[in-house]
Structure 1
Amino acid sequence: MAKNTGLIKFTGKLGNLSARETQYGNIISTPGGFNGDRIRTEERYEATRQLGTEFGRCSKIASQLYSTLTFYLQTLPHPHMYGYIQSLITNIKGCDANSPKGERSFGIGLQTEQGRKMLHHFSFNPKRNLQSVMMQQYDVGLETGKLVLPGFNIQKISFPKSARKLGLQLVLLRLDTETPICRMETSTLFLISPNDENTTIRLEACVPEGKGVLIALLYFGFCSETNGEVYFLKHPKNVLEVVGFL
């Protein structure tokens, strides 16, 4: 596969060449690739089949997280969010050193110290985390579905010119990694303006029922409000971060 940098560009087929327009430019390739039947049956491709099985399971989990969190993710700046989430799930799966290849799982990987470190304080905005935008301590009670930000100082927050308010929301996920199914509950959205006084913020959400890992996230997003309707900006300082799990 090659990128066409010349003056003559085309799309479709020309002889044994195929070309298409992508975000990276005009790409030219020749026919090829693996034979599907050989990959499914030949012993030499056993490792490929094993990796494919694991990748498929990770993709289903990533899809659940992506679809469940779409409202928040669309306000973050990352252009390839699904791939970013898929990478997290795959890397945690790789921490499963006890299962044979082809059977390694995200759920077992998350039980390891290394896997837990990857998820702990994971920010869905790779260029910002809560510490960098909020500089505020918080206390999380996963069993009760509560998060407290004591003495929240809005003066420490740098507001974008287009934002009139900051929205804070606790998001609780119950992720069954075997099904996989993801259930979500959220707190009431807490809105604060740049001139508001320091206050203790308490966010509370129902704990999702079911089995699987319980993940708590805090959403920090800049927004405006018109006639009671809240409109979130897609801004580089918006953050959705894992603040606890069990």
Structure 2
Amino acid sequence: MAKNIGPIQFTGKLGDISGRSTSFGNILQTPGGFKGERIKTEDRYIKTRQLNSEFSRCAKISSVLYKSLGWHLKTIPDTYVYGHIQGRICAIKECDEQSPKGEKTVARGLATQKGQLLLRDFSFNRKRDMTPALMISARFFLDEGRLFLRQFDVSRAVSPKGAKHLGLQLVLLRLDTETPAVAVALSEMVFMPLDSERKDIVLQAALPEGEGTLIGLLYAGFCGEDHGELFWRRDWRNSLGVVG
């Protein structure tokens, strides 16, 4: 598969070449049916089949995560956010050092210290992670679904021009990597004017039901104001990061 960077671009078929327009540009590729059948059946491609099997499981987990956080991720202008999620999921899967190739799982990867660290410091925003600055003096009680931001200082958030408020929300996920499935619970959104003084903030969410790993995320997004009405800004400074 190749990406067309020249002036001549097309969609459809031209001989053995197919062109299609995507959010990443004009993509050109040739049919791969024969090789695809060989990969499925020939012994020489057994390692490829093993990698494909693991990659497929990671893709399903990444997909349910991405869909469950659709609204929050739409406020972050990143075309590659799905690939960013999948890259981290695959990295966690690789922490499963006990299973043979083709049988490594995200669940066993998360059972390791390295896998937990990869999840704990993950930010869905590739270019800017505001979460550590916002979590200064914070206490997170995961089993109670409560995030306490002590004397929260809104000036820690570097705001875009024209923003008037910062919205804060606790997002709790119950991630079942075997099904895979995601259950989500949200706290109420707290809006802070950017000229606010420091104050205590408590974000409380119900614990999601179901099986799997419980994960806490902090969402922080900027809002503008028009005739007294708030509207969300789609900006790189918005963040969604794991806090526990």
Taking structure 2 as the reference length, the TM-score comes to 0.89
The answer for the alignment partner of 1:180 in structure 2 is 180
The letter for the 2-side match of 1:169 is Q
2:149, 2:202 within 8 Å by CA — same for their partners in 1? yes
* Residue 35 (structure 2) aligns with: 35
Unpaired runs of at least 5, structure 1: none
Using the TM superposition, name which of 215-224 and 148-157 deviates more: 148-157
Q: Write the letter of the residue equivalent to 2:151.
A: G
State the Cα distance separating 1:36 from its structure 2 match. 2.8
CA contact (8 A) 2:39 2:48 kept: yes
List per-residue Cα deviations over 1:189-223 (Å, max 9, x = no partner): 01100222210010010011111100000001101
Contact 2:172 2:215 in 1 (8 A): yes
Residue 239 of structure 2 corresponds to 239
Displacement of 1:155 in angstroms is 3.5
Identical columns (%): 50
Deviations along 1:7-46, whole A, 9 cap, x unmatched?
A: 6655544445544555666555555565333222211111
> Which residue pairs with 2:69 in the alignment?
69
Q: 1:40 to 1:147 in 2, by over 3 A?
A: same
Determine helix, strand or coil for the equivalent of 1:52.
helix
Q: CA deviation at 1:171?
A: 0.4
Stretch deviating more after TM superposition (46-55 or 17-26): 17-26
Tell me the equivalent position of 1:104: 104
- Structure 1 residue 158: Cα displacement: 3.2
Contact 1:92 1:106 in 2 (8 A): yes
Q: Does the 8 Å CA contact 1:223/1:231 hold for their aligned counterparts?
A: yes
Shift of 1:228: 7.9
CA contact (8 A) 1:221 1:239 kept: yes
Q: Which sits farther off after the overlay, 181-190 or 20-29?
A: 20-29
Equivalent residue, structure 2, for 1:200: 200
2:59 and 2:86 in contact (8 A); partners too: yes
Alpha-carbon distance, 1:181 to partner = 0.9
CA shift, 1:230, in A, is 4.4
Aligned to 1:141: 141
| Cα drift, residue 157 of structure 1 | 3.4
* Paired letter, 2:214: L
Q: Check 1:144–1:226 CA distance in 2 against 1; reply closer, same or farther (3 A cut).
A: farther
Aligned-residue CA RMSD (Å): 2.5
Give the number of aligned pairs: 244
C-alpha change, 1:42 and 1:166, in structure 2 (3 Å) is same
Deviates more, 1:148-157 or 1:47-56: 148-157
**Contact 2:131–2:239 (8 Å) recurs in 1:** no
- Aligned residue number for residue 46 of structure 1: 46
Query: Which whole-Å CA distance do the structure 2 matches of 1:209 and 1:242 have between them?
Result: 19
| Structure 2 partner of 1:82 | 82
Q: Map residues 124-135 of structure 1 onto 2, 5 A cutoff.
A: 124-131=124-131, 134=134
1:30, 1:209 → 2: CA distance?
Answer: 46
Quote the Cα distance in structure 2 between the aligned partners of 1:17 and 1:52: 25
1:118 CA displacement: 0.9
- Please tell me whether the aligned partners of residues 135 and 156 of structure 1 are also in contact (alpha carbons under 8 angstroms): no
1:94 corresponds in structure 2 to 94
Structure 2 CA distance for aligned equivalents of residues 6 and 125 of structure 1? 30
Structure 1 residues 30, 131: closer, same or farther in 2, change over 3 A?
closer
The two structures have a TM-score, normalised by structure 1, of: 0.88
- Is 1:189–2:189 an aligned residue pair? yes
Secondary structure of the 2:231 match is: strand
Structure 2 CA distance, aligned partners of 1:27 and 1:68? 28
**SS of 1:143 mapped into structure 2:** helix
Larger mean Cα displacement after TM superposition, 126-135 or 47-56: 126-135
SS of residue paired to 1:35: helix
